[in-house]
């Protein structure tokens, strides 16, 4: 699976997902929307959400999401 995050209006960051966990929980978020929290990235779906655990930004090495989020702050 691959998603993209807009860093700014002109730049997209493509992220390849290697490890994720499905969480079945009711919510009122729009389906397909993802949120970046302090150490987590969640993608909401109809039955809950997918919590991304390990991923890779294009041109970078595969790593845990908390390290990716820390790196996004510095970009």
Residue-wise pLDDT tens digits, 46-62: 999 999 999 988 888 99
Q: Can you say how many angstroms the Cα of residue 29 is from the centroid of all Cα atoms in its chain?
A: 15
6: Cβ–Cβ under 8 A, 6 or more apart, which residues? 12, 13
pLDDT score recorded for residue 73: 67
CA angle 34, 40, 46 (to 5 degrees): 40
State pLDDT tens for residues 13-39: 788 889 999 999 998 989 988 888 888
Q: What per-residue confidence (pLDDT) applies to 19?
A: 92
């Amino acid at each position: 699976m691959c998603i993209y995050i807009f860093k700014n209006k002109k730049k997209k960051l493509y992220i390849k997902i290697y490890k994720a966990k499905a969480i079945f929980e009711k919510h009122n978020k729009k389906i397909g929307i993802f949120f970046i929290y302090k150490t987590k990235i969640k993608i909401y779906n109809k039955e809950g959400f997918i919590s991304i655990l390990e991923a890779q930004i294009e041109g970078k090495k595969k790593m845990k999401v908390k390290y990716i989020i820390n790196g996004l702050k510095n970009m």
